[in-house]
Homo-oligomer: A and B are copies of this chain.
Amino acid sequence: MPKASANLENLYRIFTVPEGPDSTLRAIDQAIADDVAGFLQTHIVAIERNLEEIEADFSSCTIPEEPTYVSDYTEFVKENLVAQSVHTSAPGFIGHMTSALPYFMLPMARLMTALNQNVVKVETSKAFTPMERQVLAMLHNLVFRKQEDFYSSWIHNSQHALGAFCSGGTIANVTALWVARNRLFAPRGDFRGIAQEGLFSALRNRGAEGVAVLVSERGHYSFGKAADLLGLGRDNLVKVRTDSANRIDMQQLREEHRRLMERNILPLALVGIAGTTETGNIDPLDAMADFAAEIGCHFHVDAAWGGPTLFSSRHRHLLAGIQRADSVTIDAHKQLYVPMGAGMVIFKDPTAMSAIEHHAAYILRHGSKDLGSHTLEGSRPGMSMLVHAGFSIIGRKGYEILIDMGIDKAKSFAAMIDRHPDFELTSVPELNILTYRYCPQPVQQALAIASQGVRDAINTILDQVSQLLQKHQREAGKTFVSRTRLPIARYGQELTVLRVVLANPLTTGDILEAILAEQCEIVQDAEIRSLLQQIEEIMGKY
């Protein structure tokens, strides 16, 4: 790239925002906006170049010595980054939870960057602090539906916070379990609390052998990280078996709890899931709340995905019991349609977060309204603004339409798959997520009556088919589904399946039809054909 020169004058210039209709900034903004618009029109998911080729453009490991002109760098970005990125908002990109954004998020996010507030403290965020508190209260209200006087006394309370804004669902889940852990081992008698004395001392003080979190085997992988990080150990993340609908099996839960008791391991938290990552199912939250009350342990609901279902009059009953949780995670960058980097955790008890409260001499002083005294993270951007914008511009009713539309679409896609002679539905959508695989009807019929050995042999090959199909489809760059491994009850076996997330309002029935048609074409590929041939041979033999 042509080099600019490093001198004071140039530096002053780049630190002075050149606003105004004819400014360089406006020109660059426009060039990039046009380029992105072009990208969004011409590319569907990703361009053809493979990762290794792209890596060549990012292989120098030395920070450039000389400066580069902004215009030259913009060209580089257009060519090497925009064109080589993934069009996550494409209506045919239905494989992951990253969806389309409402357009107003762009100017709002740019404003957030321009103001560059730091919400860790009021001194660098002013109005962003009450706004974040308001958004947390609104979310609290959506979930826990307390009285108005509850909110008027807690919303802007300088001692407490109703929850925390986080960079994502992982930090939200970690925060929830951190609070639960510190409350379980609160100061008592001579014991000054786990925050002060640590986990070793806490367990010794209780005479316990360990402390565990119970969640279904469909639980998000962040709980494994949390168990590791918080010192519990992954062994103490008890993954409870699910029923055929991917919901926690209450009998198994009791059983696992009994086993913990026998081993003198304390239950730290019971985690219910409202929208499993892979299949979008919802645990029996009411029954779990009963059980958590019975064993006296923290009840956390991971509603990172499914939380916004509460906007829907038709579907909110699916989450019945969530209002009995002690803490709830909801990701704004999922079904609140906020850009990447916005998770939230809320606590029913407005004083719960004092278990992780902290202070410093230069900020977060006692009695200040600084949000940082109750967050895991320190300096943070004013992302709550984007949630506030979504709540205001889309409104509860707008979100309701989006939620209802996604669930309806999933149900109709499931019916489409069921009707199709070459596909097999592997999880029925409860919300807007489903899984399926390529498995022609004759194979399905053969599997239904085959011996376990034959069934295993066929399914092993079908796993390879699913894997290759997903890979080829991704590489073709027109549409995208993801894949995962799931135990499928009817086969008593874990299978590789295709996973679909239907949150983009622009995804139409026609697009879904086209995706199945494309997949039928992809399986004509020689490698996949030969795998399917192998299956036919096996079927022929028995």
Contact = CB atoms under 8 A, between A and B. Distances in A.
Contacts of A196: 233-235
A210 interface: yes
Contacts of A168: 377-380
A273 to B, nearest CB: 14
B29 A88 contact: no
Interface string A10-34: 1110111111110011101110111
A339 B73 CA distance: 18
A459 interface: no
A11 B127 contact: no
A378 B134 contact: no
Interface stretch (A136-144, A238-246, A412-420, A439-447): A136-144
A402 interface: yes
A26 B19 contact: no
B401 A11 contact: yes
Nearest to A494: B361
Contact of A80 (B34, B108, B127): B127
Contact of A81 (B118, B128, B192): B128
Contacts of A362: 277-278, 482-485, 499
B113 A395 contact: no
A7 interface: yes
A44 interface: no
Contacts of A117: 85-86, 88, 98, 340
Interface string A481-518: 01111100000000000010000111000000000000
A58 interface: yes
Given A126-B85, A196-B235, A100 B381 contact: no
A201 B236 CA distance: 11
A344 to B, nearest CB: 13
A475 to B, nearest CB: 11
A250 interface: no
Contacts of A483: 362
A105 interface: yes
Contacts of A296: none
Given A14-B394, A59-B155, A482-B362, A106 B110 contact: yes
Contacts of A156: 55, 59
A59 B135 CA distance: 10
A539 interface: no
A503 B397 CA distance: 46
A200 B379 CA distance: 32
A102 interface: yes
Contacts of A397: 6, 65-67
A127 B485 contact: no
Interface in A167-194: 167-171, 174, 178, 182, 192, 194
A501 B152 CA distance: 37
Give the bracket for the number of chain A residues in contact with chain B: 35 or more
Interface stretch (A255-263, A314-322, A384-392): A384-392
For A24, A64, A110, A378, the residue with the greatest tally of chain B CB atoms inside 10 Å of its CB is A378
Interface in A27-54: 28-30, 32-34, 36-37, 40, 46, 51, 54
A70 to B, nearest CB: 5
A451 interface: no
Contacts of A105: 113
Interface in A123-153: 123-131, 133-134, 137-142, 148, 151-152
A117 B340 CA distance: 7
Interface stretch (A220-228, A280-288, A422-430, A519-527): A220-228
Contact of A232 (B33, B102, B134, B198): B198
Contact of A278 (B61, B361, B379): B361
A297 interface: no
A441 to B, nearest CB: 27
B108 A356 contact: no
Nearest to A402: B11
A348 interface: no
A395 B499 CA distance: 43
Contacts of A232: 198-199, 231
11 contacts: A1-B392, A6-B398, A29-B106, A29-B107, A66-B395, A67-B393, A84-B127, A85-B128, A88-B115, A196-B233, A199-B200
